[in-house]
Each structure stands twice: as C-alpha cells, then as structure tokens.
Structure 1
C-alpha cells in the first residue's frame, strides 16, 4: 500500500472553508459538506489522526482562561492508549460553534459527538472522509495533485505546516502526540532543514 502524501496547506484550508460555507438548498448534501469541511479544518488545525478525530465531543473543547481568546482540546489517542492536549484558536472554535448551531437548526437536536451523521444515526467514517479527500485531490481542489491522498494526508499537511513555522521537531512531536520522536521525524523526512541548509542560509545570503 502506497504512503499518503502531504497536500498544500493553504489550498486545503480554503477547500475546507468553502465546504463550511456551502448554502445549497439540499439539506442532506449541505450538512454533509459542512461536516466534511469541519473535519478537514479540525484536522489541519490539530493534527489529530482521523480515527480519533471522528470520535470528538463538543465538550472536549474548553476555554483557556490564562490565554484570552484561545481554547484547549484534550483528546484520547487510541493507537497509543494515551492523551494529548493541543491549543485551539478562536477561528476554529467559531467554526465548530457555527456548525453546532446549524445542526440544531437543521435537525432540531445536537448530538454530543461532533461528527455524528444525523441521516444514518452513526458517526461518519474514515473511509467516507478519505474517499472525499481522494476525490478532491484528483479534481485539483487541494493544490497540486499528488499520487496518493486520504485523511492521513491532511494530518501530514498539518504537521508540516507547524514544523515549517519553527523547525522544532519536539513541537511537531507534541502537536501529533507521538511518544517516539523518531516517528515524528519520519513524518517530516522531506521537510526537515538540514544543518547544511541552515549554514547556507546563515553564511551565503
């Protein structure tokens, strides 16, 4: 099985926001698109593995009282039987709250699980999400088309964005909730700035 590849962060975020603002008249399609858009946006902003992301509850997001206008998400990592905590900005929190209100308006109720499919009374699945990512990639909606795309591509895209901002592997490790920093290193194999690169930037420019 071929490894999923990272996507263009800005294009993927724009795609997610477009889905979130979809106002077509067909309620089922409209709300399904919004759920998918929110799923992609949360993944880009938190780096959570799809299987854990799909199990998130609204009440796992709490206000950070020591840092105004920011929030905290604590979630369980099934793969390693551990917990992780990531900060969440106001923009993402606003998207979650708006989606919650739209669910209430559309269905007359709100399930505690964010990614609950009100049409099937089940949670959305990783296969459902990955198929949609693959289709969007194939149609060139996520930036340059890559060979293999799925929900794991969004997770890779998220951590690359974090790493490129500070070049700190331990920050990337904390973001993904990895126990072993070598696992994080493997995610960023093609994006790490080597010591020679750093020297070149310092001495040759």
Structure 2
C-alpha cells in the first residue's frame, strides 16, 4: 500500500507510523517525494522512531544501523543519502528511545533545517541568473499578450482565434512563467527550514 504524507514534525510522523502499525501496515520504504510504502502485517503495538542523518560512506551507514540494532532497534527504512532514518523497536529489553539525551533528539531538527536551507540556497543563484540575463521579461508579466508569437493572433475571431489561442497557451505558460517555479521553491524551502529550526529550539527548551 502507498500513502503520500508530508511531515516537518518528527513526533507527529512517528505517531502516525505507530498508528499504521496498529492497523496492520508495516513501513518498508519512504521516498524523498513523501511517498510511504507499507506491507500488510499483523497489527502490532510497535514503537517507531526517526532520526535524520546522511552519510558519505556506506560503511559509516552500516555501522550506524548496527549500533542501533545492538540497542534493540531495527532499521526499517532509509538510505545513506535519504536523511530520514526509520527504526522499529524489536527488543523489549532494549532502550526506550533511540536518543541518549535531549540534545541528540533536538539535533535531528537542526540537521533537517540545514538541509532545507541548503536546498533554498542552491536555487537562489539560478533565479538570480534568470533575472540578470533578462530571461524573465518584466513587460510580458504586465502584458501577457507579448508572450504569444502566432502572427495575427489578436486579429482572428471565432473558432480560428480560440483554436490558435488554446494551442499556444501551454507554450506561453512554459515560456513566460516556468521561472516562477524557482522562487516558489525557495520560499517553501525557507519556510520548512524555519519550522524545523523552531522545532529544534522548542526541543532544546523542553529538555
């Protein structure tokens, strides 16, 4: 079974995954597009916890997963580059949490905030380049007719006009407004970074 969900708060995500497990759906994979994959299983009052880390070497990732397994936690989803790492408690005598202290628990939000900020930073130079090279036509934004290149389009009437107009409009959107994709992403990533940082500070205060 597949489900799309987007979380900024790890505690809420953990709660949702635990509820899914109680309903008989065990998490097996999580993609970067917020797509969760579950497999049918016996309803289980399991405990799922989430960390956020990336690794340069596969060996470091394996050692990381082994460390948690030795503490009674099975790694069930995540890769060395995915960031989000999902663990399920498999040993009743194991530790109650995957984090040894509040600082470690808060640190995942700090790393998540840094990731969103890095993504926003990557798109800023692209947007600046579009502006500096006049790829974004300010006049066309005020007068979209300038983006239509069909000769005599605005002199046509009736069916001939609508046929030409509707045919070219998708190209006009791509030609004139695709650039808006970049500032929208920048703003969204900055919002996500601020929310993650806010959660980091909140977790630090409550430790």
TM-score normalised according to structure 2 size = 0.25
Larger fraction in strand: 2
Structure scoring higher RCO (CA < 8 A, sep ≥ 6) equals 1
- Which protein is bigger by CA-based radius of gyration? 2
TM-score (norm 1): 0.26
